[in-house]
Amino acid sequence: MAIPNFFKKLLFSRQFFYENGKFFLMMKVPGIILPMQAFTSFVHQYLKDGGEKAIEHVYTVGHEQGKNAGKRYINISNTSFPGFTEFVKGVAEVMGLGKITAFSQEGSKIIAVMNPSIFAETSRELFGKTKKPVCHYIRGIAAGLFEPFLKYDTVCEETYCKAKGDSMCRFVIKKR
């Protein structure tokens, strides 16, 4: 499915741009375009060597990035739940992470289902099936994105992951 039009307009016209040989991401910080295989390979090796500390670090980096993006969106747009989840879906697609096929609320929890989930699928292709979920960067982004919207600290757990052989990646965002 195509990226929603409003999001294309918002992100590509104002948030992503080239200037003086630099490529700027939506947080107006310099970025690069990286093949998913390279990114997956870097993260895989880092997690393999670094254990729990590395997991926490990858999560924290995603969290900071998501929080900045969420803040920027809240500053320029309305903050209804459907509007915000459309924004989050757009972020996932624009970043090339995959497609969020469903958002739901269970009590105070927010649940997001991602399929395809490109990082997890690439991880499985390159390194085989895992015992645990691998999308620590994405769950960090998810928790960070929702914090400015919910106005409290959140954590995100991944309960299903395509890298484990599940049919989707599933993220549960809840109050910290």
In the complex, which residues of this chain contact Zn ion (CB under 5 A)?
A: 120, 135, 161, 169
Q: Could you tell me which residues come within 8 angstroms of residue 103 by beta carbon, excluding any fewer than 6 positions away? A: 85, 88, 89, 110, 111, 112, 113
* Beta carbon nearer to Zn ion, 45 or 79: 45
Q: Give least dist CB 139 to Zn ion, A.
A: 8
- CB 119, CB 36: distance < 8 Å: yes
Residue 129's SS3 state is coil
* Beta carbon nearer to Zn ion, 73 or 119: 119
Q: Give least dist CB 114 to Zn ion, A.
A: 7
Q: Is the dihedral of CA 6, 72, 143, 123 positive or negative?
A: positive
* Beta carbon nearer to Zn ion, 11 or 89: 89
Residue 157 CA to residue 171 CA, distance in Å, equals 6
Q: Give least dist CB 142 to Zn ion, A.
A: 11
* Beta carbon nearer to Zn ion, 10 or 173: 173
Q: Give least dist CB 156 to Zn ion, A.
A: 11
